[in-house]
Structure 1
Amino acid sequence: MNALHTLLDRAADLPAEYGDGLTSHLPMALHALQRLGATDARLASFFERYGARFGARRDPVPTARRLADWTTSRGDWEAFGVLRAHFAAALAEEGATAVLAEALPPLWTGIAAAAFHGPIRAAHAVEAGHAGELATALAYWAARWQAVEAVPPPQPPLDFDAWFDRFVDAGVAAAIDAPLISGRIAKASATPIFRADAARLIPPADAVGTLARHAARLYAQSRNFTVLHIVTAARAVRVLSAFAAPADPALWPAVAAALMAAQVQRRGADTAGAWGWAEVNAAAIDSDDDHVIKLVHACMEHAKHDPDPAFLAAARCAVS
């Protein structure tokens, strides 16, 4: 068993959230660190430091047991335990590929779950190859499932650049206030501009790649915390789409609401000098900031598909 799997086993009874509804990033950050090339000792030290925030809290791993229809429990946080038991049983019986092909379509409709951490955690779990962590991730997504819907309006469609900028600008002007990103997404989706324009997008051919590039560029210009989650969510969509791609009506309204919720203030990009990927990678491995680790990992993965300098610029910004 490799070091990552050993630590994911140890993390199995740690809560999925802590504090006032904050998502645990421990399993996601551990996987990202491993992919960045961290040593086993570094993984262990990060585990100990991050794990301290849970104190003595533990969530026992439930006995695997399938539900007749798990989709009726979407969006019900109290059902997290039984959902976790369901996905553990399903994965043991059918394997990850079959379970993902069945589970993703009804999960994609709630892609905004916990500020996109549902799909983000699931993507890390898939790549980590750990069935227990994947069961927990899918259950977390289902329990925090958050649908963001938009009705196609009669107005003319918008190309990606115009659509993206419209919601970035709308967020700056809007009065959207809530303690968590998910709450701000919900409020943004109730605004007149969202109802009028969210469904006007004409997705480009490489829609997810285009989203990742635009979001990375915006993060480099703003260091915005919500935009960071759009960058990492785009990577998750890319990974999980190999099993079942999200329908456009589920993905793009959630992105529009998140762009508004970000309330971005643009500024000059931080470049961390002339650092290249090697220096940025090393800085991320040394960081104890789980969001920095995950963003750098996501940007490096995006850059494998697209050499656009936006990804290195965003990663430099994160570590500087």
Structure 2
Amino acid sequence: MKLSLLTNELISTGLKFQTTYQKGLTNHLPMTLVALDLMGAEDERLLGFYHQYITQLENVARNNAFLSQAEQIEQRITQDGIEATLQQSLSKLIASLSSQAFHCLIRLAYAVKSQQPREIAYSLAYWEQHYRPLTPLSTTDSYNAAEQLKQLTHVFSTTSFHADNIGERINEVAKHPNYLKLAAVPCDITFESTLKMVIKQYKTTHDFTLLHGITAYHALMVLSPYFSDQTAALQWFWQSYTAAFATACHAFNNKSSQASAPHLSWLETLSRGALSHNDHTIKLIYSCSEIYKRYPFAELKQIAHQRIAHEGL
């Protein structure tokens, strides 16, 4: 499904803003515009979101290093094409899927959906500037994914972190000796089993950090054709997810009750979700709907409906 002319124009205009703002928060503008459009939002809604969201953003004009890097990538796209550029770039970026709390991965996936070369170039430059691998990849058959998460919960459920944001906490975990003992990826993980685990952890806690597991999984789905080794991509993703999971283990100590959720069709779910003023809610609901097309798990609908109920949409 192609984006509307207005959405493409707003994404293009939005490139005048930095990829981050307020000391490291991620600019979700292009991602949310794409999600809103594909959820069926009207032009008035798209314009309203754009003008409300940009009030907090910062101009990119003085970031010469970033602009130069993005321009070089855009030239590569012009010369080699989007597909070849993505394949080449992702072969180098694969070890850093959790960069900026998965937002580099997520922004690139939405950029690919937009098919705008400059937005793709900006997304790749954003990722390259924040490239930060966690720990070398290794695999193990000494535990499965569920056992790994159980052990991480036991170790980290009472751990305090110094960092203020998710991305820095993930990097903090990656250096922790107790995480390094459990960083190896189970040999038997698959795309489907990974999704089931990611869904279960978020549905149990509704934790903000674990929400990114779902939106990042969706991004991995979108970008998977551009990874030369999809098994390796999944393994790197799982390693990144477990580091993020370790920062959120405390959520299992205080499980929150959830409001009674409505039972809606996906069409109505997307329509209501597009009314949210929360960019994470919009992307979560859109991601659930897209993942559902490949893996029709009832829990994906339940997560979307709980979010709608929570915000009274």
Q: Are 1:290 and 2:276 matched, yes or no?
A: no
Q: Which residue, out of 52, 55, 61, partners 1:52?
A: 55
Q: Are 1:81 and 2:70 matched, yes or no?
A: no
Q: 1:220 to 1:2 in 2, by over 3 A?
A: same
Where do 1:1-320 residues align within 5 Å?
Answer: 2-54=5-57, 57-60=58-61, 79-150=65-136, 152=138, 157-204=142-189, 206-207=190-191, 209-244=192-227, 245=230, 246-247=232-233, 250-263=236-249, 264-265=251-252, 266-319=255-308, 320=310
Residue 171 of structure 1: CA displacement?
Answer: 3.3
Deviations 1:141-170 (A, max 9, x none): 1111121114648x8522222223333444
Residue 247 of structure 1: CA displacement?
Answer: 3.7
Conserved? CA contact 1:270–1:316, under 8 Å: no
| Equivalenced residues, count | 300
Aligned partner letter, 2:120: L
Aligned partner letter, 2:60: D
Deviations 1:16-69 (A, max 9, x none): 111121000000000011111111221111111111112xx321399xxxxxxx
Q: 1:232 to 1:248 in 2, by over 3 A?
A: closer
Mind listing any 5+ residue stretches in structure 1 that lack a counterpart? 63-77
Residue 311 of structure 1: CA displacement?
Answer: 0.8
CA RMSD of aligned residues (A): 2.2
Q: 1:156 to 1:10 in 2, by over 3 A?
A: closer
Deviations 1:96-123 (A, max 9, x none): 1110111101011111110011110000
Deviations 1:252-299 (A, max 9, x none): 321111100123233445452334433432221101110000000111
Conserved? CA contact 1:217–1:313, under 8 Å: no
Residue 220 of structure 1: CA displacement?
Answer: 2.2
Aligned partner letter, 1:193: N
For structure 1, which segment, 2-11 or 190-199, has the greater mean C-alpha deviation from structure 2 after superposition?
Answer: 190-199
Residue 177 of structure 1: CA displacement?
Answer: 3.4
Conserved? CA contact 1:271–1:313, under 8 Å: no
Residue 95 of structure 1: CA displacement?
Answer: 1.3
Cα distance in 2 for partners of 1:169, 1:37 equals 43
Cα distance in 2 for partners of 1:53, 1:59 equals 13
Aligned partner letter, 2:20: E
Secondary structure of 2:163 counterpart: coil
Secondary structure of 1:198 counterpart: coil
TM-score (norm 1): 0.86
Cα distance in 1 for partners of 2:62, 2:71 equals 8
Conserved? CA contact 2:87–2:226, under 8 Å: yes
